Structure 1
Amino acid sequence: MIGFVLGGIIGWGILAPSLTPRETGSGTGRQRAPERGLPIGDFELTRLDGEKVRLSDFRGMPVVINFWASWCEPCKKEMPVFQAVFSERPEEFVILAVNPEEGRETAEEFAESVGLTFPILLDENKEMQKQLMVRGLPTTFFVDAEGVLRAQHVGELNRQLFTDYLAKIGVQP
């Protein structure tokens, strides 16, 4: 009986955090994880050329936000897929490739080696990574033209999955 009660308490301690909205911080500074169906919130990051970019700059257009690094094998596999799909319809959506792990030179070398034409952004202080509660790479967010989060995917995306997610933000094949 004691084992049963103890097992229940331990199980609840493990399960309970996953049943409540994710938050970080303490007191009034709590931050909620982005939720599907709600606005994702604005941010400002720096492009490789030094230009500042805000998510709100792309209001009215579907946006894919991808967190990546050049050392990440799944990231290296999915980037050519992103570029191929983006090249087919660059006027229909934008990809913001956010690198929270590496400096400008490393990110630029990788982008050039793969031939990426969409914006590469640096999250040097990992503020955006924290804001969106990114825990692993690659992580991709799909935001509709109104700035509402419609989907999130952790892990490598192949072409089929990528286009399926794009459909959720209004980009049709």
Structure 2
Amino acid sequence: MAVHEPLDRRRISRFGPRVWIFLLLVSVIVVVAYAVYAASLSDTTSTTASASLGSLSQVQSGKSPLVGKPVPNFSLPELTQNAKPSSGSVSPSEFVGHPLVINFFASWCTACQAETPMLASVAQGLGHKVDFLGIDENDTETTKALAFIAKNHVDYPVVTDHASLQGKYLLIGLPTTVFVASSGKVVGVVQGQMSKSVLEHWISRID
């Protein structure tokens, strides 16, 4: 037994460093792979959150949990020069005392493309009797949103948002329109592309 001990030690000495080097390389590869995976997962989650709102062509006008409650407040930057205050941000609280129609839309939303011209026309016809506020949701480029607003002759205030209101307003798709009484309480919520008659019906409830 004593004769073979030196051989065993030489074998351990010979192959030991290789094993440690191999384990070290494996550890480095695992750490790098996990870092890449984590970054990819983060990007995917962010993209999914932004793209979760789709285009709703079918109207869903059920009772929303928002009805009867104060309209959720926010302060967002405006896309147009028609809004107040002059600081460049807009909040629903500014419109308390006047009936308000809040419309969530996006330039990429096909149902919004069909609905917005009608919405803009009705808003112009009502003048100052009812206030309108547009919320451009998840547009990747401001230029596209501005072009959409100009094309559809939208002259009421429009602000831009990137999913910060999705939870507050329980958004499941676009367009979504929230009807707010002059008291500041939500009267109705319509999800999906409205007809003119549906829009006028809800306006009559808050006018």
Which TM class, normalised by the smaller chain length? Answer: 0.7 to 0.9
Matched residue, 1:44: 75
**Unpaired stretches in structure 1, ≥5 consecutive residues:** 1-32
Instruction: Select the structure that is richer in helix.
Output: 2
- Counterpart of 2:155 (choices 117, 127, 146) is 117
**Unpaired stretches in structure 2, ≥5 consecutive residues:** 1-63, 81-86
The alignment covers a number of residue pairs equal to 137
The C-alpha deviation readout for 1:2-37, integer Å capped at 9, x for no partner, is xxxxxxxxxxxxxxxxxxxxxxxxxxxxxxx74211
The Cα of 1:74 is off from its aligned counterpart by 1.1
Contact 2:188 2:202 in 1 (8 A): yes
Q: What is the aligned-residue RMSD (CA, Å)?
A: 1.5
Question: In structure 2, how many angstroms separate the alpha carbons of the residues matched to 1:119 and 1:34?
Answer: 26
Matched, 1:83 2:120: yes
* TM-score, with length taken from structure 2: 0.63
Runs of 4+, deviation exceeding 3 Å: none
Matched residue, 1:100: 137
Question: In structure 1, how many angstroms separate the alpha carbons of the residues matched to 2:107 and 2:73?
Answer: 25
Percent sequence identity is 28
The Cα of 1:133 is off from its aligned counterpart by 1.5
The Cα of 1:129 is off from its aligned counterpart by 2.2
The C-alpha deviation readout for 1:87-131, integer Å capped at 9, x for no partner, is 11220111111112113211101001111101111013x212221
Contact 2:101 2:178 in 1 (8 A): yes
Contact 2:109 2:174 in 1 (8 A): yes
Question: In structure 2, how many angstroms separate the alpha carbons of the residues matched to 1:104 and 1:110?
Answer: 10
Distance 1:108-1:34 versus aligned 2 partners, 3 A rule: farther
Secondary structure of 1:130's counterpart equals coil
Counterpart of 2:136, as a letter, is N
